[in-house]
């Protein structure tokens, strides 16, 4: 293989170390995961508020997995070459799905605490909810959870497998097949994600509906995924891995992040403006809850964290190529996505005042720990760089 024009870069990438999850880091991450677990166990027996927290964690972590796969498949479908060198990181993010699945099953156990429509009493006096019963009923709701995850898993796994097999054989056929699986992933995976958002989050307020809601959640998820990738890449480079990573790669990712934070505010504005303008009682209730009092302040902070601050930072060419502003913007986006989900999930469940207590802190620590743990663990199992991808050379010599 060495010497073939397609693999003239093989020496460069052979020197690339494979990632090893060091014991000290492993210990820290498992500590964080255990803190999260303990919080959940204590919460289940002591507070109703744990359920929205678990739902948030499930959505957040599933989102990371979804965004990683989304990035990989967009990259394949558009026949792009620049990101090949860093592709293993979004590929590793796929493993977050499994954690999301477990948490979602936990959510099902507490569905009565979250979803008003699971109570027969609420249904009886409410003709509108009765009309929705064919969709919003517990058996089919439970059934749909494994269906969504099954689709994501079955369509996503072949993409990863082909990528890994190509490391061994270098066969071009793997790329062709990945492109096909990626198209299927984008099409079917995208639609299932939108429906799952309707299911898991929108039905928290079963009278309210918004056709853009799935896309709104989607835009936030992709932002968070990109930010997660940027932070992880910079971290890996700082501790001595991934020498092929150049600032040009970060620049491209930062451009994506800039574009998608703008997309997020676009979708946010579309939903908000149309509901505000038409002023129909069925719809405005959603925003009345979120614009009054302390939640109103959080709404403004949400816009700043998910759009205004990262947008302003990333607008400048220089900050898209420099580690520090990139880290700041990405960290703000990651926290902002948590707040975004908080504002989607919590207001109908906890009354008029937002709470950020020990339960939330514990679960957040758990989210960070477990996500990093599964992603880094999965990263350590394979070559850190897809060494025989035909576009690798193009990616290593990316020059923007």
Partner 1 sequence: MADHQISIREPQIHGNKNLNDVTNEVCNIMDRKPTWLWWLGISLALSALTLGIVSVSYQIATGIGTWGLNKTVGWAFDITNFVFWVGIGHAGTLISAILFLFRQKWRTSINRSAEAMTIFAVICAGLFPIIHMGRPWLAYWMFPYPNFRGPLWINFRSPLAWDVFAIGTYLIISATFWYFGMIPDLATVRDRAKNKIKKFFFGALSLGWNGSYRVWHRYETVYALLAGLATPLVVSVHTVVSFDFATSSIPGWHTTTFPPYFVAGAVFSGFAMVLTLMIIARKTLKLEDYITLNHIENMTKVIIVTGGIVTASYATEFFIAWYSGNGFEQFVFLNRALGPFAWAYWIMVGCNLITPQFFWFRSIRRNVTIVFILSIFVNIGMWFERFVIIVTSLHRDFLPSAWSMYSPTWVEIGTLIGSFGLFFTLFLLFIRTMPMISMGEVKAVLHYRGKEKE
Partner 2 sequence: MEKLLIAEFQNEYDLVDSVKAVRAAEVEVVDAYTPYAVHGLDKAMDLKSSRLTRICFTFGFIGLLVGVFGQYWVSAVNWPINIGGRPWNSLPAFMPVAFEVIILFAGLGTVFSFFAWRRLKYGKPGLQPSLRVTNDRFYLVMKQGQQRKSSAPVSEIVMAHHGKMVEN
Contact between 187 and partner 1 by CB under 8 A: the answer reads: yes
User: Of 240 and 281, which CB lies nearer to partner 1 in the complex structure?
Assistant: 281
The nearest distance, CB 210 to partner 2, in angstroms, is 16
User: Of 270 and 380, which CB lies nearer to partner 2 in the complex structure?
Assistant: 270
354 burial class (0-12, 13-18, 19+ CB within 10 angstroms)?
middle
Token digits of residue 159: 């993409």
* Spatial contact of 100 and 65, defined as CB atoms under 8 Å apart: yes
Summarize as ranges the residues that interact with partner 2 (CB under 8 A). Answer: 269, 272-273, 276-277, 315, 317, 399
Token digits of residue 108: 């099902």
Contact between 212 and partner 1 by CB under 8 A: the answer reads: yes
- Binds 111, which of partner 2, partner 1, none (CB < 5 to 8 A, cut-off by type)? none
DSSP secondary structure string for all residues of 350-397: H-SS----HHHHHHHHHHHHHHHHHHHHHHTTS-SS-TT-TTHHHHHT
Contact between 262 and partner 1 by CB under 8 A: the answer reads: yes
Q: Output the furthest CA–CA distance in the chain (Å, rounded).
A: 75
Nearest residue to 204 (alpha-carbon basis) of 47, 43, 350, 46:
350
335 burial class (0-12, 13-18, 19+ CB within 10 angstroms)?
middle
The nearest distance, CB 227 to partner 1, in angstroms, is 20
User: Of 16 and 126, which CB lies nearer to partner 1 in the complex structure?
Assistant: 126
Which range touches partner 1 (CB under 8 A), out of 109-117, 274-282, 298-306, 339-347? 274-282
User: Of 20 and 315, which CB lies nearer to partner 2 in the complex structure?
Assistant: 315
For residue 180, CA distances in Å to 14, 52, 230, 309 come to 29, 37, 27, 37
User: Of 103 and 177, which CB lies nearer to partner 1 in the complex structure?
Assistant: 177
* Separation between Cα atoms, residue 25 and residue 23, nearest integer Å: 5
User: Of 187 and 276, which CB lies nearer to partner 2 in the complex structure?
Assistant: 276
Residues that bind partner 1 (CB under 8 A): 5-6, 77-78, 81-82, 127-129, 131-132, 135, 172, 183, 186-187, 190-191, 194-195, 198, 207, 209-215, 255, 259, 262, 266-267, 270-271, 273-275, 277-280, 282, 390-391, 393-394, 396-399
């Amino acid at each position: 293989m060495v010497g073939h024009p397609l693999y003239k870069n093989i020496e460069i990438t052979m020197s690339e170390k494979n990632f090893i999850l060091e014991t000290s880091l492993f210990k820290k991450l498992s500590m964080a995961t255990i803190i999260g677990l303990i919080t959940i166990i204590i919460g289940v027996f002591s507070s109703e508020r744990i359920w929205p927290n678990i739902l948030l964690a499930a959505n957040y972590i599933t989102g990371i997995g979804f965004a990683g796969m989304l990035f990989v498949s967009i990259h394949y479908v558009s026949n792009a070459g620049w990101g090949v060198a860093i592709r293993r990181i979004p590929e590793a993010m796929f493993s977050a799905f499994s954690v999301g699945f477990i948490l979602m099953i936990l959510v099902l156990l507490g569905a009565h605490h979250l979803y008003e429509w699971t109570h027969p009493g609420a249904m009886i006096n409410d003709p509108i909810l009765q009309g929705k019963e064919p969709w919003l009923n517990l058996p089919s709701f439970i059934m749909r959870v494994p269906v969504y995850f099954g689709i994501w898993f079955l369509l996503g796994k072949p993409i990863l497998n082909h990528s890994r097999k190509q490391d061994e054989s270098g066969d071009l056929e793997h790329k062709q097949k990945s492109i096909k699986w990626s198209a299927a992933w984008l099409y079917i995976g995208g639609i299932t994600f939108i429906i799952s958002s309707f299911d898991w989050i929108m039905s928290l307020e079963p009278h309210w509906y918004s056709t853009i809601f799935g896309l709104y959640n989607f835009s936030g998820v992709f932002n968070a995924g990109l930010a997660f990738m940027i932070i992880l890449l910079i971290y890996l480079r700082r501790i001595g891995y991934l020498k092929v990573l150049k600032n040009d790669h970060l620049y491209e990712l930062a451009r994506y992040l800039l574009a998608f934070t703008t997309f997020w505010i676009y979708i946010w504005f579309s939903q908000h403006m149309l509901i505000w303008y038409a002023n129909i009682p069925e719809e405005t209730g959603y925003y009345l809850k979120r614009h009054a009092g302390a939640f109103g302040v959080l709404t403004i902070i949400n816009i700043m964290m998910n759009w205004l601050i990262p947008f302003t930072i990333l607008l400048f060419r220089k900050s898209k190529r420099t580690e520090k502003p990139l880290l700041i913007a990405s960290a703000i986006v990651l926290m902002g996505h948590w707040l975004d989900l908080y504002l989607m999930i919590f207001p109908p469940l906890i009354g008029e005042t937002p709470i950020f207590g020990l339960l939330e802190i514990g679960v957040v620590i758990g989210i960070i720990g477990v996500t990093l743990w599964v992603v880094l663990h999965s990263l350590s199992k394979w070559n850190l760089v897809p060494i025989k991808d035909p576009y690798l050379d193009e990616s290593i010599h990316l020059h923007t």
